[in-house]
Each structure stands twice: as structure tokens, then as C-alpha cells.
Structure 1
């Protein structure tokens, strides 16, 4: 297991991760084969909603059958294969089968509608789509029938569970063809296209390699202390890095089990999965853990098997962290920070970090990576304790955005640094605290204001459950602040005067919000982040409506 303490330290906000364990130098397919050989009888995959489970020997065999079927269907190395489905066993089988033959898996958000689906299929040039027939209110098969004529490179649509799927998944293993294909693959080959959440404009297609995502999953798992004895409960979506990298690849690179509690997040099903499958690790964004702890019978589940897990996507309130550690037995829970473009994890708390470190920071730089904080205006590395843009360099940085070299050049500089757009502060020990987004920074009358600072202050108001601070246009100052808040149940209706009174004498006058808007909920990304662009748009409309 990697340990902290070997990173470089200095006066500037630069840090470099430890160099052990060594990076993996195989493809995903070769790594899975090795795990299956080492742990043939251990559980690899448990899909509770369908009641199916696979040992590593069975899982590897079924992956090779599907891979053989895809080769027989004419899927070549480099072809894009889309997967559009909620969490299910077939999703995981497809992930490893495509990796084994060098096809590029294009992961599609289960919530997409026809316009978004058509864009992803066309932009990445998907040749084959493997899809669920439907999920919740979405008729996937019907939507695919509508958009297929718009996608000239799309050759085949395969619906999970139908005859064509059964034929592909049941193809006899063609050892010779698999070996021949495997011999042509490189760890640097693109293997996955993931669309960013698209908070501004069209989603961008981050292109990731075997080396990117296999190593990120492996090293995240190393810091969590994973072994073949671990069982990872995954209620997070597989189509996102949280599920397919930090979840699936962290598991299979250690011989651990992947446990899927259901097709979508359900707090009761998640806790039941932990209990019934004796899971040792649980993943989620803070809102998932809040929902699980908020169940009326949450204390009735036996969660004593848990020891660790990952919380990511947004900051965790101190009380929630306390209950996750104490009530859910997750003493080793880690906070991870990253982005799709970096496979995703760049920083992570360690198992011996204090609860305060896990609440207030996103940890230290990961193994084999470098991070620095730079002045957004000059590009110079700032000193420790100063705010700067977080940049990452190393094995995890994507090859670029698919077919978009111009946008790629905007975020990856000539020296290989990925500019995240996140503002952060690094302390003397290398721990990083995210303070906001560059695009969220508000400039009021020449003063740079960081909304995250004001949000953290307003969380101290007894009636505020959640808050987002945004900048809205102002003729005098250029921008003014608006606090958009969710109130606690039963709270007294809040007024802007009352809010200002709460802030008076405790915040500089230019940081006190001029406007207040009360909402029932926030528009969110899949990883639990508030979509500030949408909150801003709604806020501007609210002011225009008077």
C-alpha cells in the first residue's frame, strides 16, 4: 500500500506524489486475466437486482465470450462502441470485453434524451451501441430508433437481453482471435470516451487510455488498502469515472468484488447490499450518504463489515463525516478530488488522516502525479496558502478531447499540465482545499470574490440547509452577489434583510449578498455538484421577473 510522506515540500504550491507502488504496464484485458488466474474462485461481480454473480474465473470467461462475439461482428480495434444503460452486469461485461479487443467504449449518460444521445453518437463516431431496452421513463430502444438515421457511422444497435445480445454474449471463446487482437494493443491506446457533464455548451469528449484509467483505479485502491478480500458496493453510476475507474478497475486490479445494489441509486437497497454481501467499502457523493443515514431504519442495518470507501463530488459536512465514520464504521473513508479529464483522481486523503482533514481538504497528490497552483492571470506558481488554479500532470492526464484539438490546447499546456479551472489553496503539508471555480469567481467593483468562502460562512446560519452564491450583472459594480438557498424543514421564511443582518460585522461589506433567492432544490450534475451556470441563469431570470 502506498503511504504519504514521500512527496516534495517547499514554499511554492507544488507537490509531487510518491513513486511506489510502480505503475502498471499492462492493458486492462491482461490485468483482468492475471486477476482471474490469481483469484479464480473469489467473487468478481454481484448484480443484486438480477440475482446473478460471477467468480473471477466465470467473469473472465464471459468477458472473453462477449469479446469474441464483438470481433465476429466486425468490431475492430479503435472502433467506438457505445454503452447506454443503467448499472447492470451487462454494463461491466461490456466494459471489459471492449477493452480486451481495443475498442473504445463510449459511456452514455442514462438520463440523456434524443438530442443529447444523437450528439454523443455522432461526435464520437459510434459504430455499435449496446443499450438497455428502457430505464425509468425512457424508452431507450424507441429513442435509438429515432436517432439512428442521424448517425451515419452507426452500424448496429444491440438491445441487452434480446436475441442479438444473447448471440454475442454467448459466442464460444475464440482464443486465437483474442490473442491476435491482444498482441496489437498498447497501454497508450484510447480505450474510453467519457462526456463531461456539459455545464457550459456541449459536453466535451474526454479520451482516456488503458494506462490512464487502469493505473488510476489501481492506485486509488492501493491508498484504500484493497486486497482480494474487499467487496466494493457501487451505487454510483458506472458510466462515470467514479463507477468504472474508482469502482470497477480498482476492484479487478486487486481481485476484489464489485457489488451492484441496483440499476440506480436507492439508499435502502444500498445498505441492504452492504449488509447482505458483507461489503467492506462503499462509494457515494455526500448526498447519497446523507440519504442513507436519513433512512428511518438506517440503524437496523448491519454495516459492521465496512471499513473504508470513497466520498467525492462535493465537500462533506462535518456532522455527516462523523456519522459515516462512527455509525457506518467507515474509519478509512477517503475524500477524492479529480475530473474526467484526469481519469479522474488527482488528490486523495489517506487512511490515517483526521476527520477534519477529510472535511476541510481533498487530500494530497496521488502517486506518480504532480500538482501545482498557479496565478490564473500570470501562470506563475503561487506560494503555499495563496489561492491559485489547480493544475495536474502525469500518467492520468487524458490524451485530449476527441476530434477537438483546439479545445484540448486550451486546457493542456505545452508542458503537459492539465488546467482544471478549479481554484484551491495548498497548506504546508501539501493538503489541498478547493475554494471554487475560476468561472465562478465574482468581480464586484474590482474586488475578486470567491463564492465558496461566502457559502461556507452561510452554512453556519441555523436555517440554511444548502446554499450557492453566484454573481449576477449589475450596472454599477459589474457584478453583484446573490445567495440562492435551500431552507431547513420548518425554518422561518428568510428575508434579504435578515440575511444581511446575519452577515453584518462578520463579512467584508463587498462580500455580503445583495440578493436572496429561496429554492426547493438545485440543478445538479451526476457527481453531486451544483450546476452553477444553471443556478446563475435562473437567478438572472428571477431578477428580470421582478
Structure 2
């Protein structure tokens, strides 16, 4: 960028060169979709009626025509029990065919589906049901240690707007479907004709670290276009088969997975109700999947299986790794040993539908591991000074903001909290610290709240984590700041060792870092763990690590 100053263009003019600002916008020749989700699904059914749409391990296997019929059956059932346009329908379930049907059936009738975290307990369930005003709840009966029916019974008296609960695999689910048999097809068509692509279709509760979670309200236009452009960036066609072990409750599963698939006539493959590394690789091999999704810890678990080499993964070409930064060594193995030469890194947040930046299929290893890609089509990103809001020069760390079709309508029923996140210019403030490089690729350096300030020095955990991933005894690592009387904060490395019988020592970690990291970035504390505390969407709960190991006197 150049700025010309002076009174004329003659020899007296002065030319001053300025570093380009950290702003970029996604251009492209493909226009945004103007469909509702139901209209877009109809296009896929008409174009690919005989191709497989949904395959669930130990469950149904439906073509697009069969999937469309099943969606319509549930949509009529919801109409039959009196669900009106704009009513909130909760889905509290693990990954299963009925979850996907609920997603598309609610969209068809203009209802708003409320995603409820399967890990929630009764107190959290009660909050979401009341905060969103859920009138109909679709739920699993149980999963692992969770008895969903018992928890619903515990809170139902305190949820006055909840009038109907239907459990998957139970007579109550059969009754829901039966309620639609007297609903004429014309009634469903008439309801669909009332729906706009700008209508809210989904409320997703963000996993807040303080207070109750916030319900991000998303429209057909938000999530359909985001899924579509993620799929376009991956080169999806009707020949792709996408293995989705990430939870549908989260936008990774239902937007980047389901909507990316159906908007391209591709097949959704569900390996199980929750993540299991062996079940995931079995599904990839058996269904000849071309794409695989996961957070880095999922890929690490798959690569770590004792019989990993026995799975035929040769059908894979692409996939998505998101949720947290990908270590270089993990990415090398995913490309070389899982055949995912076109694997993509995505960055985003629930409030932005979710993806704002993504690496491209031809990007090299450095871009896939050192950045989270560049801006998506029809989206803007900028990096600002968190204190002033001024856009910073490229190469300078600040808060990442994004604007465009993908930004949520707001937090359900909470205008004050919405105003704290979305400014008057419609920029979503992510809370993430990032840098924009000269080439437009974005590097995440941490969360504003995760940045460690040790003796006045700013330390970004990602940098230390990336380095420690090269330690021969380290399988996975998370770095957090914990209170320290002398320095304010001190660096704690939480390590999952490659060999539990031979974990690294603090002295060994320090020696490994010495002369390679600045002295103030070297961990002063070490905890050896079997696993990290995780959210249901696969993100490490750093706040829990800080609380667990930052308590006074803990050593």
C-alpha cells in the first residue's frame, strides 16, 4: 500500500510506503445460495435420487429419495403434534439417523432446532429448555452413564413451556411419526412456502467458561451457505463419502458435515454414536470414504491404534481438521499414512456458522500447520487492537474479527451479550489473538484470555505447544498459565506421554527447551496425564486444567 503526499505529482511529491493492513475479503465467482435448507435438499433429491445420502454403522442406509421420504415423515409428525413456525424443538441425542432427520425436518417446517449438548446434566438441561423456550424435545433414551429420560423427568416440572418429549427408539417416537399420517402433503408444502432463507433455523449453545452458555441464533442462510462453501473448498461432488465422527450437536458435525454433504449430493457416513477411533477407521474402510473429519486429538487417537496399519484408508483424499491447532508431526502422518493429501484446516466459531478461514487443497504443509488458512468466499476478516478497535498492520498480533453472511443474528434472548460480541458495524469479535501474514493467511496465536503474562512477558501457549510436540516422549501437550507469587503467572505443561511407562521429566523438558526457546517460555511445571478434559466437540478444556492445577499449594 502506498500513500502519496504533497501538492502535486511532480518531483516535489513525497511517496510514503505503508505496511498493508490486516484486512482481507473473500472474492469468488460462485454466488451465495438463496435457498432454504429444505429447498436445497429438494435439489439434491431431484438430482441424485438413487445415490446414498446417509449411512449409519449398524443402522439405516438411505438413498437421497429414501432420506427425503424419512425427513418428510418426521416433518409431518411435528406438524401433527402442533409445532408452529418459529417454535423451538430441542434435540438432545448422540449421533444417529434420527438426529439428522430432526435437523432437516425442523428446517422444512420453519421450526428452530435447539442443539443440546449430550454431556449436559439435569441442571444444564433445565437452563437450556427454559432459556430457549423449548416446547418439543427429541432425545436419546440413554448413552454410557447418561439416563436422559431420568434427567428429563427430574426437570420437567420446572420447564413449563415443554409440552412434548419423544425418545428415539421408544413408543413415544413411534407416536410422533404416527401423528403425521393424517397431515396432508399440501399442509407441509404450504408451511414451506412461508419460510424465508433469513429465518432462524438453529440455536447452538456455546460452551462458556463463565456463567451459563449463550444460544447463538443461526439462519438457513448462515449455515447452508457455510456448509456449501466449506464443501466447495474441499472440491466435494456427489461422488464423495464423508465420514463424520464429530458430534452433530456441534456445528462441525451438522454444518461442515451434514450440510456440506447434502448441498453437493454427497453421502454422510456416521461411524457411531460418539467418537471411537477403531469404529471410525472401520467405517472409512468399509464405506470407501473420501473425506474424514476430526479434531487433532481424534486423528492422534486413530494414528495411535496398535492395528492402525491394518485399515485400508486408500479411498481417502481429503477431510477437515479443526477445533484446535494441528501439530506438524500429526499433519505429516495424516497426509502420508491416511492418504489425506488434500486435508484442510478450518477456523471459526459457532457464532459465525462456523467457518471464517480455511486452507486450500493445494496448500503446503507449512500453511496447513502454521496457519488456519485464508478468508472464505463472501466473508471479511480483520485483526484489530483489542483496546482501540483499530485495524493493525499485517504481521501484528491482535483480535480476529469477521463479518459477512455467516455472522449470527445474535444470542437468543440476550441483546446485551450480543452487543458485547457483535459491534455496530456487524463485526463479530472472536476473542482470538491472531496475525495476518503478507500472503493473507491467518495464524492463531491463542485466546486473549489464554495468553500467559509471566513477569510482564506475553507468552502464547500455541508456540510452546508446537515446540514440545517435537519432544520424543510427548504424544500430546497443552500449555496453560497458573498463578505464581513471584511472576504473576507461571507456565504449566500438561503432557500425555507416548509411553506411559516412560514419561518425560520436568528437568528433561527444560533441557530440551534450553537454547531453543527464550528462557521465559520454558515450562516451570509439568503434569503427566492420561487424557485431557474435553468438550463434547473435542476441544481441550484449558480452563479446567488451569482450575485443577492452579489451586494454591498444588504441586
TM-score when scaled to structure 2?
A: 0.92
8 Å contact kept, 1:332–1:351? yes
Aligned to 1:70: 78
Partner deviation per Cα, 1:246-295 (whole Å, 9 max, x = no partner): 01100111111111111111222212212222211111112222222222
- In the TM superposition, 1:403-422 aligns within 5 A as 403-422=413-432
Equivalent residues in 2 for 1:273-288, closer than 5 Å: 273-288=283-298
> More deviation in 481-490 or 104-113?
481-490
Once structures 1 and 2 are overlaid, which stretch shifts more, 468-477 or 427-436?
468-477
Give the Cα separation in 2 of the matches to 1:494 and 1:256: 45
Change beyond 3 A, Cα 1:184–1:364: same
Query: How far is 1:430 from its partner?
Result: 0.9
Deviations 1:335-357 (A, max 9, x none): 11111111111111111111221
CA deviations on 1:507-542 (whole Å, 9 max, x unpaired) are: 33333333333333321223332212111111222x
Equivalent residue in structure 2 for 1:370, among 357, 380, 386? 380
Aligned-residue RMSD, C-alpha:
1.9
Deviation (angstroms), 1:414:
0.7
Per-residue deviation at 1:369? 0.3
For residues 371-520 of structure 1, the aligned pairs below 5 Å read 371-489=381-499, 494-520=504-530
Partners of 1:104 and 1:192 within 8 A in 2: yes
Residues 152 and 10 of structure 1: is their aligned pair in 2 closer, same or farther, counting only changes over 3 Å? farther
The CA distance in 2 between the partners of 1:461 and 1:329, in whole Å, is 25
> What is the CA-CA distance between 1:493 and the residue it aligns to?
5.5
The Cα of 1:310 is off from its aligned counterpart by 0.9
Name the structure 1 match of 2:91.
83
Q: Distance in 2 between matches of 1:531 and 1:137?
A: 21
- Note closer, same or farther for the CA distance 1:12–1:53 as it changes in structure 2 (3 Å cut): same
Deviates more, 1:137-146 or 1:196-205: 196-205
- Distance in 2 of aligned mates of 1:28 and 1:112: 28
- Per-residue CA deviation, residues 133-172 of structure 1 (Å, 9 max, x unaligned), is 1111211111111111111110111111223322333533
Counterpart-to-counterpart distance in 2, 1:111 and 1:376: 33
CA positional deviation for 1:491: 6.4
Match of 2:134 in 1: 126
Query: Matched residues in 1 for 2:495 and 2:277: separation?
Result: 25
Q: Provide the secondary structure at the position in 2 that maps to 1:370.
A: strand
Deviations 1:417-461 (A, max 9, x none): 111111111111111111100001122333322222222233333
2:263 counterpart residue number: 253
Q: Does residue 185 of the first structure (1) align with residue 195 of the second (2)?
A: yes
Partner of 1:227 in structure 2? 237
- Give 1:358 shift: 1.0
Q: 1:339 aligns with which of 342, 349, 356?
A: 349
User: How many residues of Structure 1 are paired with residues of Structure 2 in the alignment?
Assistant: 536
1:25 to 34, 37, 47: 34
Quote the offset at 1:367 in angstroms.
0.6
CA gap 1:328/1:457 in 2 versus in 1, 3 angstroms: closer
- 8 Å Cα contact 1:375-1:388 kept in structure 2: yes
In the alignment, what sits opposite 2:308?
298
**Structure 1 residues 104, 318: CA separation in 2 closer, same or farther (over 3 Å shift)?**
same
8 Å contact kept, 2:474–2:504: no
Q: Give, in whole Å, the separation in 2 of the partners of 1:297 and 1:510.
A: 41
Distance 1:515 1:331 in 2: 37
TM-score (norm 1): 0.94
Instruction: Tell me how far apart the structure 1 counterparts of residues 105 and 138 of structure 2 sit (CA, whole Å).
Output: 12
Aligned to 2:543: 533
Counterpart residue number, 1:11: 20
Displacement after TM superposition at 1:490 (Å): 5.1
Q: In the alignment, does 2:115 pair up with 1:115?
A: no
Comparing 427-436 with 325-334, greater Cα deviation is found at 325-334
State the Cα deviation string for residues 301-333 of structure 1 (Å, max 9, x = none).
222221111111122222322222222221111
Structure 1's 266 and 478: CA in aligned 2 closer, same or farther, altered over 3 A?
closer
Q: 1:39 aligns with which of 40, 43, 48?
A: 48
Post-superposition offset of 1:297? 2.4
Which stretches in structure 1 are left out of the alignment for 5+ residues? 1-8
Query: How far apart, in 2, do the equivalents of 1:216 and 1:101 lie?
Result: 21
1:140 aligns with 2:148: yes
- Of 191-200 and 470-479, deviating more is 470-479
Kept in 2, the 8 Å contact 1:107–1:193? The answer is: yes
- Matches of 2:478 and 2:285, distance apart in 1: 36
**Aligned partners of 1:329 and 1:458: how far apart in 2?**
26
Instruction: Determine the structure 1 residue equivalent to 2:215.
Output: 205
| Residue matched to 2:173 | 165
Provide the C-alpha distance between the structure 1 equivalents of 2:309 and 2:505, rounded to a whole number of angstroms.
37
Alignment partner of 1:96 out of 94, 97, 104? 104
Q: Distance in 1 between matches of 2:549 and 2:554?
A: 10
